[in-house]
A and B are shown apart, each in its own frame.
Chain A
């Protein structure tokens, strides 16, 4: 921690921070190595006593120049890179890429593959929300929830491992379908092991965290994001839905078989941290219901459409969006007709959700920053790419 006078004397800090700081203010760094930022995010915070005057996120610590990298990769290869963006929704990112290539080449995806993809997406969403739940509770000082969340998630990663061969960066979706048929025990394990386990444990989450008075006091009326602000900051996913914005891509622009399944778009109107928390907890239940509708009805057939060995997208611009566990992921590709994209751009949910952090924490205490940030569910490699 530096006192503002020392910084002015040494003149080493960024001027924009200094311009707004008074002589009595402190400027502190949270991150890049801080457990509450879940990765290498650097927050430069101007404090007046304990009150936050300004939060300036600094990015770039894990920049891997993915968009540029993808320009030299073929349309089969660039998919695997996106698993490393938001690694907790790796399946869903891959799904977006596969959908984009299919849309551009007008590939008909077999029904079986569509079912498998959607089930995998929802399993990923549950896994991601479970991890968020544990990590967020840990940020706020409760350590045990982390282990309970990982207990259920462990079974899920084992199921993924059986079918996709990897636990986190699966690279299972390919243009035209999925890479392999699901493991023969896949359906059995999901229906008889995972879903009953998760359902029997959800009440534990509620007892342990949701109903806990300390937790409630820390998140209620903290980090309020109004509906207008959520829209103008471009927030998406559970963050925006907690403020009452209708933005579920699965409902608005259904892809694959999302228009055939029945599920509710979860809303809250309060817009505070508690609302964001509740939206995610309810989304877990919605995902469970989606999986239950599909898992026993996977049709027979091919798991992959026949595609050419070398994929060439026609000349033009293509955009595809999906709903990841964090919000809307958009992929924009400009093709010159070759085997690699001319330009590729990812619209990641984390970046927009982070941008409202300054707005929702200004004027609150520094302890509330962690609660607000925890419920935004930031994954730093997704923001930085």
Chain B
């Protein structure tokens, strides 16, 4: 019968809407289950994942020494030319010339955080840091030199 069918349809429709509204109402009254975090209010407690790829850094130890041999593998591995390794020749103790890194230039503004340079580095001299607040007033500030001033290569790294 038409009228019964019609009424059934209307009741079902209202029921389905009510079920949806019930769910919305549930979350309206249960604020605790809402997970939005408000940055930067939560800066003190916000912890990024250890492996988060935020920028490429070159760790230095207490003696201002790093593990970079200046082999330029990272420069070749980078798909978009974000790394430029400028090398020099050091004269070591026996008077032999040895290739070493002069400036390891890293352009954070071009980097896509793919991690290929880290994979390519034979001496693990560079790694990804989990920093993420990179906004600066001038993009030239994003061109960084990774090896510290006056730093040199760690003993024993070939």
Q: Do A and B come from one complex?
A: yes
Which residues of chain A have a CB within 8 Å of any CB of chain B? 73, 76-78, 80-81, 144, 151, 154, 158, 161-166, 169, 171, 174, 179-180, 183, 204, 207-209, 211-214, 309
- Given A204-B23, A208-B23, A213-B16, are A80 and B116 neighbors across the interface (CB < 8 Å)? yes
Q: With A77-B77, A180-B51, A213-B12 given, name 19 new contacts (CB 8 A).
A: A80-B79, A80-B112, A81-B79, A161-B49, A161-B52, A162-B51, A164-B51, A165-B51, A165-B52, A169-B112, A171-B114, A174-B119, A183-B50, A183-B51, A207-B22, A208-B23, A213-B13, A213-B16, A309-B73
Closest partner residue, chain A, to B53 (CB atom): A165
B136: Cβ under 8 A from any A Cβ: no
Q: How far is the CA of A208 from the CA of B20 in the complex (A)?
A: 5
Q: How far is the CA of A221 from the CA of B16 in the complex (A)?
A: 20
Taking CB atoms, residues of chain A closer than 8 Å to B79 are 73, 77-78, 80-81
Q: Which 4 A-B pairs have the closest CB atoms?
A: A77-B79, A213-B13, A165-B53, A165-B51
Taking CB atoms, residues of chain A closer than 8 Å to B35 are 151, 154
A214 lies within 8 A of B24 (CB): no
Number of A-B contacts (CB under 8 A): 70
- Given A158-B49, A162-B49, are A179 and B115 neighbors across the interface (CB < 8 Å)? yes
* Of the residues B22, B24, B50, B115, contact of A171 by C-beta under 8 Å: B115
Q: How far is the CA of A346 from the CA of B51 in the complex (A)?
A: 31
Q: How far is the CA of A166 from the CA of B114 in the complex (A)?
A: 9
B125: Cβ under 8 A from any A Cβ: no
Closest partner residue, chain A, to B54 (CB atom): A165
Taking CB atoms, residues of chain A closer than 8 Å to B42 are none
Taking CB atoms, residues of chain B closer than 8 Å to A309 are 73, 120
**Which B39-54 residues sit within 8 Å CB-CB of chain A?**
48-53
B17: Cβ under 8 A from any A Cβ: yes
Which residues of chain B have a CB within 8 Å of any CB of chain A? 12-13, 16-17, 19-20, 22-24, 35, 48-53, 73, 77, 79, 112-116, 119-120, 128
Closest partner residue, chain B, to A80 (CB atom): B114
B20 lies within 8 A of A207 (CB): yes
Closest partner residue, chain A, to B33 (CB atom): A151
Closest partner residue, chain B, to A171 (CB atom): B114
Give, as a whole number of angstroms, the nearest-CB distance from B55 to chain A: 12
Give, as a whole number of angstroms, the nearest-CB distance from B108 to chain A: 15
B17 lies within 8 A of A212 (CB): yes
Closest partner residue, chain A, to B120 (CB atom): A309
Taking CB atoms, residues of chain B closer than 8 Å to A76 are 77, 116
Taking CB atoms, residues of chain B closer than 8 Å to A161 are 48-49, 51-52
Q: How far is the CA of A218 from the CA of B115 in the complex (A)?
A: 45
Taking CB atoms, residues of chain A closer than 8 Å to B52 are 161, 165-166
Taking CB atoms, residues of chain B closer than 8 Å to A208 are 19-20, 23-24
B114 lies within 8 A of A144 (CB): no
A179 lies within 8 A of B119 (CB): yes
Taking CB atoms, residues of chain B closer than 8 Å to A151 are 35
Q: How far is the CA of A171 from the CA of B23 in the complex (A)?
A: 37
Closest partner residue, chain A, to B122 (CB atom): A309
Give, as a whole number of angstroms, the nearest-CB distance from B74 to chain A: 12
Taking CB atoms, residues of chain A closer than 8 Å to B119 are 174, 179
A-B contact pairs, 8 of them (CB 8 A): A158-B49, A165-B113, A171-B116, A179-B115, A207-B23, A208-B19, A211-B16, A212-B16
A211 lies within 8 A of B19 (CB): yes
Taking CB atoms, residues of chain A closer than 8 Å to B114 are 80, 171
* Of the residues B17, B22, B73, B120, contact of A213 by C-beta under 8 Å: B17
Give, as a whole number of angstroms, the nearest-CB distance from A133 to chain B: 14
Taking CB atoms, residues of chain A closer than 8 Å to B48 are 161
A163 lies within 8 A of B23 (CB): no
- Given A77-B79, A80-B114, A171-B115, are A165 and B19 neighbors across the interface (CB < 8 Å)? no
Taking CB atoms, residues of chain A closer than 8 Å to B13 are 213
Closest partner residue, chain B, to A167 (CB atom): B52
Taking CB atoms, residues of chain A closer than 8 Å to B53 are 165-166
